[in-house]
Structure 1
Amino acid sequence: MASITKRGKVWQYRISYYDSDGKRKTINKSGFRTKAEATAEARLTEADLIHGYDLESATTEFRRYFKRWYETTRMPYITERTQYNYRNTMKAIDSYFGTTSIGDISSDEYQMIVADYGKGHSHETTRKFHHHLKACFDYAFRNGVIKKDPTFSAKVVGKQSEKKIKYLSEADMNKLMSQVIETTTLDNTANYILILANATGMRIGEILGLTFDDVDIDGQVISVRQSYDYVLTHKAKATKTESSVRQVKVDKVTCSYLAEIVDDRRSLCKTSDKNVDGFIFINRNTFKPISWTMVNKVLTRHCERAGVPRITTHAFRHTHISYLLNNDVYEQYVSERVGHADTTMIRRVYGHVLDELKAKSDDKVIHLLDIQKSSASH
């Protein structure tokens, strides 16, 4: 039962209760103009306690609650790169929410914060920010800390990023690869990476993470077992997803280039103990995988000399996927080859290609049916 008292010119209430661990707790709130206002608020609070709401946690600063939630439910299970993203989110939380309690954040306030954040960030970055916060609020809601989830139905906005070319046409890619191959020497590690990226659609981190044991030249197979963190740790790490662990078949020409650099780097490593991990695409002087920045610099130079639009290394992945789809390679096979769990990503990102293929298939089916009907009528 709540105790309602007057203190000076204002009214206050005090509620005593036992938490889930059997510890005695109290809730005090003052500042009410009348006894009736204090009584009404106290009754609502008592009802919340009866329904199992964790009112003590609801008064915790959101930034502190988020940090505790992150360290308990996320940090032990995610990569260093993802931890880096969460740390950026926590900086933004500190800036936007300050000392605000988690239980005091309304849907309107949350929407305004997401909208403001989106003014200075891309849509994708804003989406990740919202995703992090939404997961925390959902956890708090399910555990009775808050009565409503302020992120429910929130709209994510963000700056329109500059439109970049995601992939090259088959003709432009052929021109680019001719330029790459013509300038390939064992001193130019980046060229070998570009050749492999073009033939496999592998992520740049997956290529940099390849070791001598991952390559079967005779079987023309590459085993993708790990990735390489070229941004933060500069060490081997787990692949992006479980489905990214896979085997990729490679053509004979690409295998011949792969054999060249594998033989050269393997011989080189016999003269030093620096490359203990057995990485293939290493700098011949440092014995460490070459930097992502260097690969892109080399690629930019090749694009300029070949007279094709400037792209980044990731465009090889898009181009490889588009090339396979345009040549009627089965969607599921393409997804498995590039390490997607299913065809969802293919359908979302390459919908325009699939639409074109559907139109071609429609024409082909109608043509086949016309032939069938024509044969039946004779």
Structure 2
Amino acid sequence: MKQKNKNVERKELQNEKRVVFFNGTSWYHRTKELLDDMTTKYGKKGGFATPEEAEKSYWEYEERYKDRQRELQVAYLKNTDVMFGEFLRYWFEHIYSLRIETTTKMIGAYTLYNLLLPNMEADIKLKYVTVEYLDTLLERASKICVSAGNKGRELLSLAMKDAVFDGFIKHNPVPETKPYPRPKPKIRILSKEKIKVLLHAAYLNPWYLEMLLALFCGLRKGEIMGLKFSDFDFEKRTVRISRQLVANPKLKDGYHVEEYGVTERDPKTENSFRILRVPKAVMEEVERRRQKIETEKAWRKDFYEDHGYVCCRPDGKPHSTSAFNLALTKLCERNGLPKITVHGLRHMFATILIERGVPLVKISGLLGHSSIHTTYEYYCEVMDEKDKIIAFMNDTFVPEKTGTEG
């Protein structure tokens, strides 16, 4: 019986960890080695006592394979005196894409394949790329949309920095090109009266709690979606921000979305790990949400997918990343209010603090910005608008702790 249970356990582990397999008396994993002629030699490695050891070894082999692949590709491209466009394609697919998230890859792919490459009137060898050539390219791209110049220059800078690192060129010309400032974010602030209308209309809305968390705790949309009931301390009335839910689309051809999905990630910056005090009224709504979800779980039983999320669909699965903004847009339209996004509610939270005279360094900590300069960049104009006074909910919005330490 015990032997049978062990076999079942091994079978389950094999299904769960597809990169490893059990054979005889130990765990194995497949191996691959890139040879000098660019062909791949396949094999297997065993002798591991646990699937975790085998899996760790597998990923080490994978990393060595990728490093060797890059080494040989770089050597080949150097020998062929690579063209600029060819290098950008190679760099994006084989270097940059391996170190970024799916959504960043989607933006980068659009920038490269839709904005930069089509605007290269004449491709030239990488070693002959000059400041003047790049300025002309970026000027053409910048006419397509507001952000094209800024995003294009940013992507080119990363590519040319890697080109220097790999020895293709000796100098990165991008920093000397004409800068394209990032479009300044527009902050829409609702008046005290309109906030009352919004909250009154939202009270019976399924997204009421999420709106309170954005407006009175200043949380980002992804942070709200990633909250779990275990993050709340009901006795101390605090919440720990330690994750976010972000889009994780399955891409085709670099930037066409085949399938939508979400995944957990660390918060946006290191300072985004923080513990915040939560107003009593918001904590009461969290408790109401918990009771509602417990009822759903009891009713749906095995059909409820429990991830512990505060913000979830009736079956426990996470919402799509666009669901909150769509609900907020509908609410504003139905009540004659200007359209506002979740990020707009976060901006209003910051404005409330500014108008109450809370120091910028504290506001930066509450919002989880990477530095106080980010906070200043967003809100320097708001600080001078004394006519937009919004009632502050209470004086408990002070961060307990920020960052990953402690």
State whether TM-score is above 0.5: yes
Residue identity in the other structure for 1:60: V
Rounded Cα–Cα distance in structure 1 between residues aligned with 2:100 and 2:294:
33
Is 1:118–1:126's contact at 8 Å kept on the other side of the alignment?
yes
The match for 2:135 among 102, 111, 122 is 111
Secondary structure (helix, strand or coil) at the match of 2:325 reads: helix
Alignment of 1:118-129 (within 5 A): 118-123=142-147, 125-129=148-152
Rounded Cα–Cα distance in structure 2 between residues aligned with 1:127 and 1:234:
27
The match for 1:331 among 345, 360, 366 is 360
Residue identity in the other structure for 2:364: S
Alignment of 1:283-322 (within 5 A): 283-284=313-314, 286-322=315-351
Which is greater in Rg?
Answer: 1
Match of 2:103?
81
Is 1:179–1:305's contact at 8 Å kept on the other side of the alignment?
no
Q: Structure 1 vs Structure 2: percent identity of aligned residues? A: 22
State the Cα distance separating 1:94 from its structure 2 match.
Answer: 4.0
Rounded Cα–Cα distance in structure 2 between residues aligned with 1:230 and 1:142:
31
Match of 1:137?
160
Match of 2:194?
172
Moved more, 293-302 or 63-72: 63-72
In the superposition, relative to structure 1, how do residues 57 and 328 fare at CA in structure 2: closer, same or farther (>3 Å)?
Answer: farther
Alignment of 1:153-302 (within 5 A): 153-157=176-180, 165-181=187-203, 183-184=204-205, 188=206, 190-230=207-247, 232=249, 233-270=261-298, 271-272=301-302, 274-284=304-314, 286-302=315-331
Secondary structure (helix, strand or coil) at the match of 1:152 reads: helix
In the superposition, relative to structure 1, how do residues 275 and 62 fare at CA in structure 2: closer, same or farther (>3 Å)?
Answer: farther
Secondary structure (helix, strand or coil) at the match of 2:174 reads: coil
Secondary structure (helix, strand or coil) at the match of 2:358 reads: coil
In the superposition, relative to structure 1, how do residues 234 and 343 fare at CA in structure 2: closer, same or farther (>3 Å)?
Answer: same
State the Cα distance separating 1:168 from its structure 2 match.
Answer: 2.0
Match of 1:343?
372
Q: Which runs of structure 1 show a deviation greater than 6 angstroms over 4 or more consecutive aligned residues?
A: 158-161
Is 2:102–2:248's contact at 8 Å kept on the other side of the alignment?
no
What is the CA RMSD across the aligned residues, in angstroms? 3.0
Is 1:215–1:223's contact at 8 Å kept on the other side of the alignment?
yes
Is 2:247–2:321's contact at 8 Å kept on the other side of the alignment?
yes
Rounded Cα–Cα distance in structure 1 between residues aligned with 2:181 and 2:380:
23
Rounded Cα–Cα distance in structure 2 between residues aligned with 1:335 and 1:210:
20
Is 1:89–1:129's contact at 8 Å kept on the other side of the alignment?
yes
Rounded Cα–Cα distance in structure 1 between residues aligned with 2:86 and 2:183:
32
In the superposition, relative to structure 1, how do residues 102 and 167 fare at CA in structure 2: closer, same or farther (>3 Å)?
Answer: farther
In the superposition, relative to structure 1, how do residues 155 and 235 fare at CA in structure 2: closer, same or farther (>3 Å)?
Answer: same
State the Cα distance separating 1:55 from its structure 2 match.
Answer: 10
In structure 1, the gaps of 5 or more residues are: 1-53, 358-378
Is 2:262–2:320's contact at 8 Å kept on the other side of the alignment?
no
Secondary structure (helix, strand or coil) at the match of 1:341 reads: coil
State the Cα distance separating 1:90 from its structure 2 match.
Answer: 3.5
Rounded Cα–Cα distance in structure 1 between residues aligned with 2:216 and 2:183:
32
In the superposition, relative to structure 1, how do residues 310 and 266 fare at CA in structure 2: closer, same or farther (>3 Å)?
Answer: same
Is 2:289–2:310's contact at 8 Å kept on the other side of the alignment?
yes
Secondary structure (helix, strand or coil) at the match of 1:229 reads: strand
> When the two structures are aligned, how many residues end up with a matched partner?
296
Moved more, 152-161 or 232-241: 152-161
Residue identity in the other structure for 1:151: V
State the Cα distance separating 1:294 from its structure 2 match.
Answer: 3.3
In the superposition, relative to structure 1, how do residues 234 and 160 fare at CA in structure 2: closer, same or farther (>3 Å)?
Answer: closer
In the superposition, relative to structure 1, how do residues 76 and 160 fare at CA in structure 2: closer, same or farther (>3 Å)?
Answer: closer
State the Cα distance separating 1:251 from its structure 2 match.
Answer: 0.1
Residue identity in the other structure for 1:101: K
Rounded Cα–Cα distance in structure 2 between residues aligned with 1:65 and 1:241:
31
Show CA shifts across 1:155-191 (max 9, x none): 2449979x9553323332232112212x24xxx2x22
Is 1:141–1:147's contact at 8 Å kept on the other side of the alignment?
yes
Match of 1:32?
none
Rounded Cα–Cα distance in structure 1 between residues aligned with 2:79 and 2:351:
50
In structure 2, the gaps of 5 or more residues are: 1-75, 250-260, 387-406
Alignment of 1:15-34 (within 5 A): none
Rounded Cα–Cα distance in structure 2 between residues aligned with 1:144 and 1:294:
46
In the superposition, relative to structure 1, how do residues 273 and 57 fare at CA in structure 2: closer, same or farther (>3 Å)?
Answer: farther
State the Cα distance separating 1:320 from its structure 2 match.
Answer: 0.5
State the Cα distance separating 1:328 from its structure 2 match.
Answer: 0.9
> TM-score if structure 2 supplies the norm length?
0.65
Is 1:138–1:149's contact at 8 Å kept on the other side of the alignment?
yes
